[in-house]
């Protein structure tokens, strides 16, 4: 859905992965017997110079990214396998004559409605004509605000971004949290940078907006004029936005404000009236993460021609629904948002796109069917034992820290002992019984699912947090940590090879899912997570000296990643990626120490010619076997808090002595750093 809370994830890019390359059949995969691909290595490269290429270089050279992908590799291939499993379920329930109102009927009819391209293409843009007429009737900027607030399926409209989640300083209660919004391009610098790739994106954006207007009958010249005005408006609005790295400061982004005060401070937005129209009259206090954005919006709205504001609403309406309309609308949206921004040449098959839509709209309904068929109790039990093993290791490491005072350690250990572990799927499933799903109404099905989402979310405001709720659906190939719940979460979708396989040796499992577990644990103690206590409350529980030592240690990580470059000498942003880089370093550290407690970890028995330690590091590198298109990489550097895959392997290992020992890394090699220069935090 549109307004979502962001957690610290293993890979944010996985939340927006396009549907993956289709296999020739949907049969179950054969039992795996080989757990590391030696043929994908490049042994002409010294592991001490570039371990990512040593482990994956042969695969990178011979692999071509499928035409319907922004990248390819381990994550994508697992996502591909999961989508085929999802397809099997969807096709089965779509053919069944399921009882009305059952999960099977809702999921099956939703999928069938999305696959009915004949009806969808015949309708053209008929489904949004009534909304276009409503926008056309608006006469003042206050009408524009009322329209956005009143929308049942797009609450807040184009300019009010929000999510409902725990109050950071009172984590037992849900609040509505407003954040900066209103931009169509990835982040603020896309409106001002003058390099050629960025200028091309702005040009393509204007063409895209004009195309959408033209598809609804606006003449070419007028469509172009409208598009250029929208870009100019967003450019002005972008000046009020914080940069992506600044969004990672939970203290700076916590502003608890009375609605009455907001209304006085921003009379043009009239927050009280806006919230009343949103059917939130009971709300007298909100969180506003970036007040500067709303102050700018308050100033701009009365000065902006109403015709331009209406055009921006029209664009938002079409853009937000283009993938639900006839082929030409869907193609136009793909051409800009996928092909231009991310370099993806081809649109994925229809079934893949609709499978994603079902997961987005009815995720836990689909999830019930998915885990029943594809996730075993044995896998959940094995995963829990791995999590517990790493928790024991983390406790030992905190106890032995030489830079943390006893009083800070005491709170840190309490937080570690109390964190919640969620594995596979929720204990209680969401209820979608209020969503009427019709087999012949794809557009309506999506709108009703969106309306359900807002009803569900709004009902939480000022109510106790349901700590059993999940932020990802079971088939998701990802994991996350949520500091306000003090929890780590691993959906069933990621608990498969190459991350995890019940038949794999411990070196592979600890290098894969063990590192993922350690990564998410460390997020609860990274530069953001460390600011939350055992109850999930944002408060300063560190001594001043400990905080200063932590910041000194993490600055070394910032400096390290700032020095890495991709493409045309484009530098990584060490501040933006700090949390994920700390989690990667912590993940490999915890996973390795836990691995050394296993029988294999304490032996010297080789498999495929590799020692247990070498196999552990190769299994880790195999997880990040990913190849990305240049366009997608460029967007990621600007917006993604995760470093590119190569540096998620090489970066942590430069700071990890056991890697040096396992592969004989020596002074003079590119990954070697003297011990005194190695970044070590947890």
User: Which residues belong to the active site?
Assistant: 520, 584
Q: Which residues of 627-639 are buried (b: 16+ CB within 10 A; e: fewer)?
A: bbbebbbbbbbbb
Could you tell me which residues come within 8 angstroms of residue 578 by beta carbon, excluding any fewer than 6 positions away?
A: 248, 526, 527, 554, 557, 558, 561
d(Cα 540, Cα 558) in Å, to the nearest integer?
Answer: 22
The residue written with tokens 């099977």 in the block is: 104
Could you tell me which residues come within 8 angstroms of residue 460 by beta carbon, excluding any fewer than 6 positions away?
A: 164, 174, 466
d(Cα 408, Cα 571) in Å, to the nearest integer?
Answer: 35
Using alpha carbons only, what angle is made at residue 513 by residues 49 and 36, rounded to the nearest 5 degrees?
55
* Burial tier of 13 (Cβ tally within 10 Å: 0-12, 13-18, 19+): buried
Helix (H) or strand (E) holding 7, with range, is none
Q: Considering only CA atoms, give the Rg of the chain.
A: 25
Dihedral over Cα of 527, 528, 529, 535: its sign: positive
Helix (H, G, I), strand (E, B) or coil at 420: strand
CA distances from 556 to 138, 553, 582 (A): 54, 6, 11
| DSSP letters spanning 551-618 | HHHHHHHHHHHHT-EETTTEEP-TTTTHHHHHHHHHHHHHHHHHHTTSTTTT----BTTB-HHHHHHH
CA distances from 118 to 94, 121, 653 (A): 17, 5, 53
* Contact (Cβ atoms closer than 8 angstroms) between residue 550 and residue 681: yes
Helix (H, G, I), strand (E, B) or coil at 256: strand
d(Cα 161, Cα 245) in Å, to the nearest integer?
Answer: 18
> Following CA atoms 66, 68, 72, 78 in sequence, which dihedral angle do they give, to the nearest 10 degrees?
-110
Specify the pairing of strand 170-179 against strand 285-288. parallel
* Residue of 47, 15, 118, 22 lying closest to 610 (CA atoms): 47
């Amino acid at each position: 859905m549109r307004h979502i809370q962001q957690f610290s994830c293993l890979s944010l890019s996985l939340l927006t992965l396009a549907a993956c390359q289709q296999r020739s059949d949907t049969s179950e995969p054969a039992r795996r017997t080989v757990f590391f691909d030696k043929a994908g290595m490049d042994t002409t490269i010294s592991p001490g110079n570039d371990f990512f290429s040593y482990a994956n270089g042969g695969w990178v050279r011979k692999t071509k990214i499928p035409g319907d992908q922004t990248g390819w590799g381990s994550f994508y291939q697992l996502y591909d396998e999961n989508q085929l499993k999802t397809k099997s379920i969807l096709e089965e329930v779509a053919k069944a004559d399921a009882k009305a109102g059952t999960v099977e009927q809702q999921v099956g009819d939703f999928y069938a409605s999305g696959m009915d391209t004949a009806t969808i293409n015949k309708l053209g843009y008929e489904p949004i004509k009534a909304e276009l007429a409503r926008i056309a009737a608006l006469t003042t900027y206050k009408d524009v605000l009322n329209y956005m607030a009143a929308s049942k399926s797009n609450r807040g409209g184009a300019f009010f971004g929000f999510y409902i989640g725990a109050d950071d300083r009172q984590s037992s209660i849900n609040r509505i949290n407003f954040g900066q919004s209103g931009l169509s391009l990835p982040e603020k610098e896309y409106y001002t940078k003058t390099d050629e790739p960025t200028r091309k994106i702005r040009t393509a954006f204007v063409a895209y907006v004009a195309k959408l207007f033209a598809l609804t009958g606006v003449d070419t010249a007028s469509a172009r004029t409208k598009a250029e005005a929208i870009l100019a408006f967003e450019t002005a609005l972008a000046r009020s936005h914080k940069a992506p790295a600044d969004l990672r400061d939970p203290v700076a982004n916590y502003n608890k404000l009375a609605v009455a005060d907001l209304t006085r401070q921003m009379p043009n937005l009239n927050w009280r009236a806006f919230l009343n129209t949103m059917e939130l009259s009971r709300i007298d206090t909100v969180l506003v993460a970036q007040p500067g954005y709303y102050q700018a919006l308050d100033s701009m709205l009365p000065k902006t021609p109403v015709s331009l504001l209406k055009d921006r609403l029209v664009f938002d309406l079409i853009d937000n629904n283009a993938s639900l309309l006839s082929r030409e609308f869907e193609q136009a949206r793909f051409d800009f948002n996928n092909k231009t921004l991310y370099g993806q040449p081809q649109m994925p098959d229809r079934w893949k796109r609709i499978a994603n839509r079902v997961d987005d709209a009815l995720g836990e309904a689909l999830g019930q069917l998915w885990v029943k068929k594809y996730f075993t109790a044995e896998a959940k039990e094995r995963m829990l034992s791995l999590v517990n093993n790493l928790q024991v290791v983390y406790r030992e490491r905190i106890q032995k820290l030489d830079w943390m005072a006893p009083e800070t350690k005491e709170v840190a250990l309490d937080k570690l002992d109390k964190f919640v572990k969620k594995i596979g799927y929720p204990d209680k499933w969401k209820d979608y019984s209020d969503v009427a799903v019709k087999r012949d109404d794809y557009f309506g099905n999506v709108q009703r699912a969106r309306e359900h989402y807002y009803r569900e979310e709004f009902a939480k405001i000022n109510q106790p947090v349901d700590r059993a709720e999940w932020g990802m659906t079971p088939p998701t190939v990802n994991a996350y940590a949520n500091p306000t719940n003090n929890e780590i979460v691993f959906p069933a979708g990621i608990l498969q090879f190459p991350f995890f396989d019940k038949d794999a040796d411990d070196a592979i499992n600890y290098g894969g899912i063990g590192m993922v577990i350690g990564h998410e644990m460390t997020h609860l103690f990274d530069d953001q997570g460390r600011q939350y206590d055992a109850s999930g409350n944002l408060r300063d529980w560190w001594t001043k000296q400990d905080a200063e030592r932590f910041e000194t240690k993490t600055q070394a990580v910032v400096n390290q990643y700032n020095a890495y470059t991709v493409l045309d000498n484009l530098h990584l942003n060490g501040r933006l990626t700090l949390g994920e880089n700390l989690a990667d370093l912590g993940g490999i550290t915890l996973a390795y120490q836990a691995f050394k407690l296993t029988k294999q970890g304490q032996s010297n028995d080789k498999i495929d010619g590799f020692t247990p330690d070498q196999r552990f590091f190769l299994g880790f590198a195999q997880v990040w076997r990913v190849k990305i298109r240049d366009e997608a990489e460029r967007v990621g550097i600007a917006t993604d808090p995760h470093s590119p895959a190569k540096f998620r392997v090489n970066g942590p290992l430069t700071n990890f002595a056991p890697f040096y020992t396992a592969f004989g890394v020596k002074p003079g090699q590119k990954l070697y750093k003297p011990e005194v220069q190695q970044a070590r935090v947890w």
